[in-house]
Amino acid sequence: MSDVYIIGLSMIRFNKYPDKDVRGMAHEVIYQSLEDAGLGKEALQAAFFANTFWGMFSNQHSIRGQVVLRSMGIGAIPVTNVENACAGASTALHLAYTGVRAGMYDVALAVGSEKITDPDKMKSLSAYATCMDVENFGDQLKMMEKANELFQVDVPEGQTPPGEGRSIFMDAYAMGARWHMNKFGSTQHQLATICAKNHFHGSLNPMAQYQIDMSVDDVMADKPIAYPLTRAMCAPVGDGAAAAIVCSESYLKKLTNARPVKIRASVHGSGADRDFDGEDIGERLVKQAYDMAGVGPSDISLAELHDATAYGELHQTEAMGFCPMGGGGPYAETGATKLGGKQPVNTSGGLECRGHPIGASGLAQIYELGLQLRGDAGNRQVEGARLGLAENGGGNIGVEEAAMCIHILEKV
């Protein structure tokens, strides 16, 4: 099997774009990634296109990738449409990686494009609920209510019922945070520390949707969403696209000006039925990723973790093995996950600040790691970056993600 390399990377700044659409944003990043790789579009042998909500907002329910590519003059090649909620783009990369590694293709494109903003704000927010088990949605709400009764955490007055004026995922993350507070004694202040760190990182990233530095006190004082989460701790609604081009080792040898990044591991898996104290999907999959890459958590120079809320990052630092279970809050308070620290996390600003257009987020993580490993991250460059890890979760069934991909990339 061939080693697989990323040779083209691109993204547009995530933001609210009333005048952009899924197709146009995808075209932008595909052309940019081809330019970054030094290739023409005729070099592409396969494409994997990630999107979740195009059908819901614009009635394009099928052949989405073919519509995007044919309208820019790319036809005949196999195009696979990928829908895996928030993990769609990383799944597209995993499939491109798999095809090249198996020898099916020498060059493949992974692209994710998503438009979520809409004049009807509630339509945008309600879209997120389709990333759960819709037919059994009532059971999910009952589970959240029961969990809130079990996790004895004092919740301030004024919290609105689940899903009112926000994505239902904020309630799912708040449930996880309250479980963590009950079991391990983590605090809202620790979540604010994580969030403030990400706002600092985001202030250094011209591709971030939010580029405003915030202090811990600023985060704590922001509008309450679902306790213990405040607005600053939650990823915003937004639009955007990102892409990556991967190739085989034999094809790489033919290129003269490539700036490759090696994919050391690519793992894809699904959640399982479990209780709150069972083995987490991230714990399970990262063991496979470390085994595939032949490394351990201490070897990772930096990571992009799926922080749809600050609790997501706290939990994933534990699941990835960067600190013991229950230690995510204190670990963040040491400064280890901030630029200049032992193991910087979400140098892009994370989903909280870079933004989270569902079908594009996983490849935006890869874009950030690629910049870092190429040494192109500017004033947020991690010194000596050699290995980067990206963890991207998607959807929710029960108490964990429905899907997840983990990638480990290496500087060449």
Q: Active-site residues: which are they?
A: 86, 356
Query: Which DSSP symbol is given to 393?
Result: E
What 319-323 contacts at long range (C-beta under 8 Å, 24+ apart), as own/partner pairs, is 319/280, 319/282, 319/283, 319/286, 319/391, 320/282, 320/286, 320/389, 320/391, 321/283, 321/286, 321/290, 321/296, 321/297, 322/297
Determine the 3-state secondary structure of 11 from DSSP: strand
Whole-number Å distance between alpha carbons of 74 and 96: 17
Whole-number Å distance between alpha carbons of 169 and 51: 18
Name residue, tokens 């990383």.
Answer: 90
Whole-number Å distance between alpha carbons of 80 and 51: 11
Whole-number Å distance between alpha carbons of 316 and 233: 15
User: Which residue intervals of 305-349 are DSSP H helices?
Assistant: 310-319, 328-333
The first and second tokens of residue 271, run together, are: 């959640």
DSSP H or E stretch at residue 87: none
Whole-number Å distance between alpha carbons of 342 and 357: 29
